[in-house]
Amino acid sequence: MAECVLLAHGINKRFGGLQALSDVEIRIERGQIYGLIGPNGAGKTTFFNVLTGLTAPDAGTFELCGVRYWPTEAHRVAQLGIARTFQNIRLFPDMTALENVMVGRHTRTRANALDAVLRTRRARTEEAEIRQRALEIIEDIGIGRYAYYLARTLPYGDQRRLEIARALATEPRLLALDEPAAGMNATEKAALLELMARIRSRGVTILLIEHDVKLVMGLCDRVTVLDYGKVIAVGSPAQVQCDPGVIEAYLGRAHAAAPPRLSPT
């Protein structure tokens, strides 16, 4: 039985009159690439926000690698080991790419104001380590040449990579990516696939929200489908794409009656 990285159960979130999440459950195993899909407005990003502590849930249990947590403070969640990217890319625009990734190291380092002012040994070695590690991650991800460029001047695809690099710098156990392939062309998507595989091979579990069904089918080991805040299907991509409920959610009732074969490549 593979080790469980994330177990979220009974997640509920209401915004005024709208029940954004109803009894959502998700179980991710170590080393998986897990997909979260569903039509627009299904609650995927809300789920991410709840998971990572940016929005407080109304109810639910959360367990990361067996440790229970209650996601009210995003920085605590990051420290526990979930790092995320954002649907609309939220880099630190006037900091360099390298500095962006160095911020990612914040939660794994400890030097405080006094260390900084006095340039203690701890501060100096930590700074060197932060810089070193950040450079490595940036190189590894493939945007090494942009290390000293302001984040907002990077090409779009590289900004997405930078955001992933920054998230990786926090040494997460679970990397949560919100539409990492949005706005990418075919070449960039292929490169992204390769990057995901490399990240997985380093032992990081990945949860991703994606609209590109082909990408999800090709990449994910397991998928949960949300619609109107409820889980309507869970399973392998092949299973899920034949599920009539899923097809109805995406394409309408008429199609559910005669499910089309979606080629997984």
Partner 1 sequence: MGATATAEPSNHPAPPGGRTPPRVLGAMIALGAALIVLPWAIGAFGDAWVRALCFVTLYVMLALGLNIVVGFAGLLDLGYIAFYAVGAYTYALLASPHLTEHFPALAHAFPAGLHVSIWVTLPIGASLAAAFGILLGTPVLKLRGDYLAIVTLGFGEIIRIFLNNLNAPLNFTNGPSGITLIDPVRIGSFNLAHPGTVLGMHPSSLVLYYYLLVAVALLAILVCVRLQDSRLGRAWMALREDEVAARAMGVNVRNVKLLAFSLGATFGGVAGGLFAAFQGFVSPESFSLNESIIVLSMIVLGGLGHVPGVVLGAVMLALLPEALRHTAVPLQDALFGRVLIDAEVLRMLLYGLATVGIMLYRPRGLWPAPEHGMRRAFGRVAAANGEAAKAVSGHG
Closer of 92 and 250 to partner 1 (Cβ):
92
CB of 235 to partner 1, least distance (A): 29
Closer of 15 and 156 to partner 1 (Cβ):
156
- 3-state class of 51 per DSSP? helix
- Positions in the binding site for partner 1 (CB under 8 A): 52-54, 73-75, 78-79, 83-84, 86, 89-96, 98-99, 102-109, 111-113, 115-117, 119, 123, 126-127, 130-131, 139, 142, 144-145, 147-156, 158-159, 166-167, 170, 183
Closer of 106 and 211 to partner 1 (Cβ):
106
- Mapping DSSP onto H, E and C, the string for 122-176 reads HHHHHHHHHHHHHHHHHHHHCCHHHCCCEHHHCCHHHHHHHHHHHHHCCCCCEEE
CB of 101 to partner 1, least distance (A): 10
Question: Residue length, the chain?
Answer: 265
CB of 258 to partner 1, least distance (A): 40
- 3-state class of 222 per DSSP? strand
- 3-state class of 77 per DSSP? helix
Closer of 75 and 253 to partner 1 (Cβ):
75
CB of 158 to partner 1, least distance (A): 8
CB of 240 to partner 1, least distance (A): 28
- DSSP structure class, residue 83: E
Closer of 55 and 241 to partner 1 (Cβ):
55
Backbone angles phi, psi at 173, to 5 degrees: -90, -30
Cα–Cα dist 146/242, whole Å: 43
